[in-house]
Amino acid sequence: MTTFVILAVLIIASAVFVVSAPRTVYGVIGLLANFFCLAVMYLTLDAEFLAVIQVIVYSGAILMLFLFVIALLSSGVRPFAPGKNRLPNVLIPVSIFAAIAFAGLMFTFAHTSPITEHASDVSSIFGPAGTAGVFGSVADFGRALFTTYLLPFEATAFVLIIAVIGVIALAGDVDPPRKGPGRRAAPGKPREPILKERV
């Protein structure tokens, strides 16, 4: 229980920090902390394989990607500042919506029949982690993934291919080859940003 409470507090705090960090890099670090604490929580839930996957993929790959992009772009926007004359500060309204939604969810859960609780005991009858036949083992996970859930697996692979192609198409070519000397002649002039037009 204490594990849970500590982890929960950390997760919530880091989540809030991510969303409200003054600089984006801080937010990424907060996200890292969040992912890590979540991985630990998965461990308390006997999902060892997924905990490791969480660390490797999420905090290892995705957050690296975030850092690269942050490095690529400048970010000089203060958090929660209202835009110049565009959408005003919506923090208050959306927080209210979120609170209402949360209250609704809790209300729902309070009125549904309780589930038989299988506590997260580490010292369980389930046996050592990793052994086939134990809940949360890699062997079981692998067998299920490649037999019962083969189709979603393959589909997800397909999604990944598409994502790779999409990323290359979107952000691949930076500068197409120029024709004629005109453009090169005045290199000092900054080009117009793409989407500044107010339609």
Q: Which of residues 148-187 bind another protein (CB under 8 A)?
A: 148-149, 152-153, 156, 159-160, 162-164, 166-167, 170-171, 174
CB of 47 to another protein, least distance (A): 5
CB of 131 to another protein, least distance (A): 15
- Show the tokens assigned to 131: 């052994």
Is the Cβ of residue 181 or residue 190 nearer to another protein in the bound state? Answer: 190
CB of 144 to another protein, least distance (A): 5
| Burial 105-125, CB ≥16 within 10 A → b, else e | eeeeeeeeeeeeeeeeeeeee
> Which string of DSSP letters, residue by residue, matches 46-63?
T-HHHHHHIIIIIIIIIH
Number of residues that bind another protein (CB under 8 A): 105
Q: Which amino acid is at 188?
A: G
- Output Rg (C-alpha) for the chain, integer angstroms: 24
Site for another protein in 120-149 (CB under 8 A): 120-121, 135-136, 140-141, 144-145, 148-149
Which SS3 state, helix, strand or coil, does residue 132 take? coil
CB of 181 to another protein, least distance (A): 22
The DSSP output letter for 80 is T
Interface characters, 68-107, with another protein (x: CB under 8 A): -xx-xxxxxx-xxx-x--xx-xxx-xxx-xx-xxx-xxxx
Give the one residue of 6, 16, 132, 139 binding another protein; rule: CB under 8 A. 16
- Taking Cα atoms as reference points, which of 41, 69, 73, 72 lies closest to residue 54? 41
CB of 52 to another protein, least distance (A): 11
Residue whose pair of structure tokens reads 């952000």 in the numeric block: 171
Angstrom distance (rounded) from CA 138 to CA 179: 56
Is the Cβ of residue 170 or residue 185 nearer to another protein in the bound state? Answer: 170
Give the one residue of 15, 33, 52, 129 binding another protein; rule: CB under 8 A. 15
Give the one residue of 10, 33, 58, 129 binding another protein; rule: CB under 8 A. 58
Angstrom distance (rounded) from CA 52 to CA 180: 54
Is the Cβ of residue 180 or residue 190 nearer to another protein in the bound state? Answer: 190
